[in-house]
């Protein structure tokens, strides 16, 4: 059976707010997917061209989708995802996988127990430049990776914090809302983080949550990393400004979110500029560097993520971002918070083990 002969995967959307509406557009544009229903208590009286239900349970029972996309508030993620897995449907769950690491473990256990098909929406991993950068690292195109640095800084509008008060309350902050994507990608590119140090500041906005952070990372591979982020500082540096992922951000072509330095070459991401010495000259700091761009076929992360999810739903692919994987990213965010509060270096594996043991006691 060719791809075009296969029946479309029938999808239900749970939560049709800012992100959920974007998922509607992605599903409508995907030949292999069909949106069959929406569950959102705020939309029951609205005419949105699809059957609308007040709850996920009602939608699952009545519309019987093959798969769901969950884009409801973070605090509902784990309960909703477990409910859908128990109903036997495949799940694309928006990030963060849960509001905290302890809660995410409940989902990890449920996926394993139920043999569930679940993909977490860390969409950047599906960007073609990320796959190419990962291959360059894996295949030694940079030599041995020595270090990585990254930045995400963009000044959010003030009403971002006043219109939605949870944005300025503990449980939010630039680390969990934005840097979670970068930490996930750094793990994807450079492997697990062994140790983390952090400095947080609320100085620029004066809110209860951090607006600016600096992180130091030691990866298990021995690679050293640093990451700087702020939602108060104007800058062109950050994934959202240097990709065309969302029209909500201006696009600055040839921009850089991450810099990876190896023993033979350097690579910036996502513009994939590779800097190296000509093989005919000595490979040291006095020689001129040449720059080439690694070729890649452009594609948005979100459509690529949906295509992958259709394969996960059909049972023909394992999820690129599993619940277990995403929960490790969440643990890293929490370990960063602990490092910032305590001023100590946090051993990430021990942090995860302690949190798991606490949850079981």
Residue from 10, 26, 37, 40 in contact with ligand NAD (CB under 6 A):
40
Compare residues 197 and 230 and give the one whose CB is closer to ligand NAD: 230
User: Which residues neighbour 141 within 8 Å (Cβ) at sequence distance 6 or greater?
Assistant: 135, 262, 265, 267, 274
User: Given CA atoms 37, 52, 248, 202 in this order, what sign does their dihedral have?
Assistant: negative
CB of 59 to ligand NAD, least distance (A): 9
Task: Assess 13 for contact with ligand NAD (CB under 6 A).
Answer: no
* 94-153 binders of ligand NAD (CB under 6 A): 94-95, 121, 123
Distance of CA 247 to the CA centre of its chain: 18
Q: Cβ-closest residue to ligand NAD?
A: 17
Binding range to ligand NAD, per CB under 6 A, among 13-21, 83-91, 191-199, 224-232: 13-21
Instruction: Decide whether 57 or 296 has the Cβ nearer to ligand NAD.
Output: 57
User: Which of 10, 12, 15, 67 contacts ligand NAD by CB under 6 A?
Assistant: 15
The CA distance from 93 to 122, in Å, is: 9
Tally of CA atoms within 13 A in the half-sphere of 3 that contains its CB: 8
Q: Which of 28, 31, 42, 354 binds ligand NAD (CB under 6 A)?
A: 42
The Cβ of residue 16 has, within 10 Å, a number of other Cβ atoms equal to 23
Specify the residue, 267 or 310, whose C-beta has the smaller distance to ligand NAD. Answer: 310
Instruction: State which residue, 41 or 88, has the beta carbon closest to ligand NAD.
Output: 41
- By CB under 6 A, tell whether 359 contacts ligand NAD: no
Yes or no: say if 282 and 264 are a contact pair by the CB < 8 Å rule: no
Which residue, 230 or 243, is less far from ligand NAD as judged by CB?
A: 243
For 76, 105, 106, 170, 204, the CA distances from 97, given in Å and listed in that order, are: 10, 10, 11, 17, 29
Question: What is the x/- site pattern for ligand NAD, positions 46-65, by CB under 6 A?
Answer: ---------xx---------
The site map against ligand NAD for 202-231 (x = CB under 6 A) is: ------------------------------
For the record, the structure tokens of 338 come out as 């602990």
In angstroms, what is the minimal distance from the CB of 186 to ligand NAD?
16
Q: Which residue has the tokens 């995403």?
A: 326
CA distance 158 to 232: 9
| Separation between Cα atoms, residue 196 and residue 289, nearest integer Å | 32
> Interface with ligand NAD includes 31 (CB under 6 A)?
no
Distances 128 to 44, 241, 243 between C-alpha atoms, Å: 38, 17, 11
Close Cβ partners of 65 (under 8 Å, ≥ 6 residues apart): 10, 11, 12, 36, 37, 59, 89
- For the bound state, the minimum distance from the C-beta of residue 86 to ligand NAD, rounded and expressed in Å, comes to 16
Q: Which residue in 76, 296, 317, 349 binds ligand NAD (CB under 6 A)? A: 76
Mark the segment that binds ligand NAD (CB under 6 A) among 33-41, 212-220, 263-271, 323-331: 33-41
The residues that touch ligand NAD, with contacts defined as CB under 6 A, are 14-20, 39-42, 55-56, 71-74, 76, 94-95, 121, 123
């Amino acid at each position: 059976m060719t791809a075009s002969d296969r029946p479309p995967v029938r999808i239900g959307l749970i939560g049709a707010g800012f992100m959920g509406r974007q998922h509607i557009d992605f599903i409508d544009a995907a030949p292999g997917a069909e949106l069959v229903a929406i569950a959102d208590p705020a939309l029951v009286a609205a005419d949105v061209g699809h059957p609308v239900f007040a709850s996920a349970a009602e939608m699952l029972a009545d519309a019987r989708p093959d798969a769901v996309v969950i884009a409801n508030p973070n605090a509902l993620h784990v309960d909703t995802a477990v409910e859908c897995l128990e109903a036997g449907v495949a799940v694309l769950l928006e990030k963060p996988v849960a509001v905290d690491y302890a809660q995410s473990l409940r989902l990890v256990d449920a996926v394993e127990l139920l043999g569930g098909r679940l993909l977490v929406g860390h969409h950047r991993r599906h960007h073609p430049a990320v796959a190419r950068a990962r291959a360059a690292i894996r295949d030694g195109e940079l030599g041995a990776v020595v270090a990585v640095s990254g930045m995400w800084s963009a000044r959010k509008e003030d009403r971002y914090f006043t219109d939605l008060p949870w944005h300025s309350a503990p449980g939010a902050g630039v680390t969990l809302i934005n840097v979670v994507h970068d930490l996930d990608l750094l793990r994807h590119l450079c492997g697990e983080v062994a140790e983390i140090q952090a400095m947080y500041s609320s100085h620029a906005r004066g809110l209860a949550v951090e607006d600016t952070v600096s992180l130091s990372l030691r990866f298990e591979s021995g690679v050293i990393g640093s990451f700087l982020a702020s939602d108060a500082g104007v800058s062109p540096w950050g994934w959202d400004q240097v990709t065309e992922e969302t029209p909500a951000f201006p696009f600055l072509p040839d921009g850089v979110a991450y810099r990876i330095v190896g023993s033979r070459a350097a690579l910036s991401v996502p513009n994939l500029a590779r800097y190296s010495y000509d093989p005919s000259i000595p490979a040291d700091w006095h020689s001129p560097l040449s720059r080439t761009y690694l070729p890649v076929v452009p594609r948005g992360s979100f459509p690529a993520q949906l295509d992958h999810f259709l394969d996960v739903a059909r049972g023909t692919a394992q999820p690129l971002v599993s619940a277990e994987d995403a929960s490790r990213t969440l643990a890293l965010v929490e370990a960063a918070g602990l490092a910032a509060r305590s001023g100590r270096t946090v051993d990430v594996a021990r942090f995860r083990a302690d949190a798991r043991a606490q949850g079981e006691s």
